[in-house]
Amino acid sequence: MTEHANNIEHKYQNFIKHVVQSEEVWGLTKNETWATSSSSEFEDTEVILFWSDKAGASACAEDEWSDYTPESVTLVEFLENWCVGMYGDELLVGADWDRDLIGKEAEPLVVALDVVTQLKATGKTLEFTQYDNQEEFEEQLIEALEAE
The distance between the two most distant Cα atoms of the chain, rounded to a whole number of Å, is 42
What is the DSSP annotation of 14-37? HHHHHHHHH-EEEEEEETTEEPEE
Read off the pLDDT band of 101 (50, 70, 90).
confident
Question: Phi and psi dihedrals of 129, rounded to 5?
Answer: -100, -30
On the question of pLDDT at 1 being above 70, the answer is no
pTM (two decimals): 0.94
Counting every residue written for the chain, the total comes to: 148
On the question of pLDDT at 100 being above 70, the answer is yes
- Tens digits of residue pLDDT in 22-78: 999 999 999 999 999 999 888 899 999 999 999 999 999 999 899 999 999 999 999
**C-alpha span between 75 and 109 (Å, rounded):** 14
**Where in the chain are the domains?**
3-147
